Amino acid sequence: MASTQVAAEGSKAPTNNPTLLAWVAEMAKMTQPDSIVWCDGSESEKKRMTEQAVSEGILIPLNQQKRPGCYLHRSNPNDVARVEHLTFICTPNKAEAGPTNNWMEPDEAYHKLGQLFAGSMKGRTMYVVPYAMGPIGSPFTKIGVELTDSIYVVLNMRIMARMGKQALDMLGDSDDFNRGLHSTGDVNPDRRYICHFPHDNTIWSFGSGYGGNVLLGKKCLALRIGSFLGREEGWLAEHMLILGVTSPKGETTYVAAAFPSACGKTNFAMMIPPAEYKGWKIETVGDDIAWMRPGPDGRLYAINPEAGYFGVVPGTNNKTNPNAMETISKDTLFTNVALTPDGDVWWEGKDGEVPEELIDWQGRPWKKGSTEKAAHPNSRFTAPMSNNPVLSPKANDPMGVPISALIFGGRRSTTVPLVLQAFNWTHGVFLGATMGSETTAAATGKVGVVRRDPMAMLPFCGYNMGDYLQHWLDMQKTIPQLPKIFQVNWFRQDKDGKFLWPGFGENMRVLEWVVNRVHGRVPTKETLLGWVPRQDEGLNLKGLDMSADAVAEATSIKEDEWKTELKSQEVFFEQLGSKAPDALMLQRKLLISRLEN
């Protein structure tokens, strides 16, 4: 069998690290795999494992002329997304996890999951996946080792992280690595848990095969454990894209931006400027996660700890994100999309005509006009960042890039203007802490309910959210040259429910204003909420098919809406209780005072 061949070729441990060897032996004793394979990250290993995954029906080869190196995977229909209600922070006391996280006592969690893991890999192979989050040799980088019985996880991890021998070499004999244990089990939602043990730098994931739950370097280490380590060690692990914007004069400015899901984060990271911006260039450092720490020159430096993109496919096309379309044209794993008769992939929102017939994401025949989705709404692509045609040359820089601006954005049909700049760092943290997005009718039955998502980190913060916000405030003491902080909203609507701002590449106009503000080049208008563009020397609107009235509406600040907004924010701060930072409560009082006067 193929699995026996893989085990025979890769079973000898390629390390003498005593801590790692002892831990792997302990986990193997509990899970009882038939064989153990140490992954080296080589091309020959990728070829071998891909062939095995195809032979076992885990991957379906796509049309190799149309999409070279691309494959389709179909997950269990009960296992298609992150499971926030089954995701736990396991700290010695509940207060440390905070009111916005699910909590489980560590001993209870180890016991409960230990019973599930016991013998769970009988008849299976345990793959040992050493990986680095961050460039090899970078002081920012963290090493993790994931033990998994899923070859799908292995093939995704080699795209998403720097996997194999290079990570083991960087670890050496150190005991400082994240210990990740994963088994798909029987993929039963009643026996599905994703548990994080911040004090042990450990993650146990059982019963799922979906990427966000099982690619343990991503949200689990890079954000939940990462945010905890960041507070302990004096840095920030954030749910942020990183891009570089270069002017025609050759000046490059780096920006990090946080948006909740469905707010265009990947599109912004890979944006193509409009025709009026000839000579301007956007380059992607990262599309999802930023690790940021003070640099020796007093600025805040950021790396993207990932090596690939794990993106939502539906809605991706040559209008919304042409660079993403090129990125996924080769060497990409697709999960839960539809299959065309000629072996290509399809999803809702893809360019061109809807095919007459498809095989849907569950492997069933699908006809044009069907009321059911052909691709799952959360279907995914996993693609190497090296495929990105606008990848920044600094994407692998071990020292990262200096961040000049931080942007917070959400999906709001009213209230929040197109762009504003915070008065100072504390005010900017307040803007980030109170950001949110409106729910859709499909999700809740109500439209326009604002879900607070501070810094877009609500599902990903590995400790008490109040302490997290205080850590943000405290960081200003260690960063002499603080980035400027901005808030944006691409989703403001007119009275007929139509978007006022065209978005996509036109967001370059807002980004240019941000860059000009960072470098002190344009004056502003002061408002109750922050500094906004002036009408005479503000946003560059040349060539934009948008009326002056629409621009004025998109950038307007309406006091009655903000009085309602402040009442809504109070609910969030009450949830944090005594952990709500005093400095943010003062910001709120100051804003209320400004509105009343």
411 assigned binding-site residue: yes
Write down how long the chain is.
Answer: 597
46 assigned binding-site residue: no
Given a contact cutoff of 8 angstroms between Cβ atoms, the answer to whether 150 and 215 are in contact is no
Q: Is 220 a catalytic residue?
A: no
239 assigned binding-site residue: yes
211 assigned binding-site residue: yes
DSSP-derived letter for residue 100 is: T
267 assigned binding-site residue: yes
262 assigned binding-site residue: yes
Neighbours of 88 (CB within 10 A): 24
188 assigned binding-site residue: no
Q: Which DSSP string corresponds to 20-74?
A: HHHHHHHHHHHH--SEEEE----HHHHHHHHHHHHHTTSSEE--TTTSTT-EEE-
Chain Cα centroid distance, residue 189: 24
d(CA 65, CA 69): 9
319 assigned binding-site residue: no
11 assigned binding-site residue: no
265 assigned binding-site residue: yes
Among residues 70, 90, 220, 263, the one annotated as catalytic is: 263
Query: Residue 437 corresponds to which amino acid?
Result: S
* Helix or strand holding residue 266 (H, E): helix 265-269
Closest Cα to residue 238, out of 305, 165, 295?
Answer: 305
Query: Residue 597 corresponds to which amino acid?
Result: N
506 assigned binding-site residue: yes
Chain Cα centroid distance, residue 554: 27
Angle, helix 582-596 to helix 559-576, in steps of 10 degrees: 160
d(CA 520, CA 526): 15
350 assigned binding-site residue: no
Cα separations in angstroms, 373 against 18, 365, 380, 541: 50, 12, 14, 38
67 assigned binding-site residue: no
380 assigned binding-site residue: yes
Angle, helix 465-475 to helix 559-576, in steps of 10 degrees: 110
505 assigned binding-site residue: yes
Collapsing DSSP to helix, strand or coil, 571 comes out as helix
* 206-229 b/e (C-beta count within 10 Å ≥ 16 → b): bbbbbbbbbbbbbbbbbbbbbbbb
d(CA 381, CA 385): 12
164 assigned binding-site residue: no
Binding residues: 82, 210-212, 219, 239, 261-267, 288, 378-380, 411, 504-507
Catalytic residues: 263
Binding site feature residues for Mn(2+): 219, 239, 288
Q: Which residues are annotated as a binding site for substrate?
A: 82, 210-212, 261, 378-380
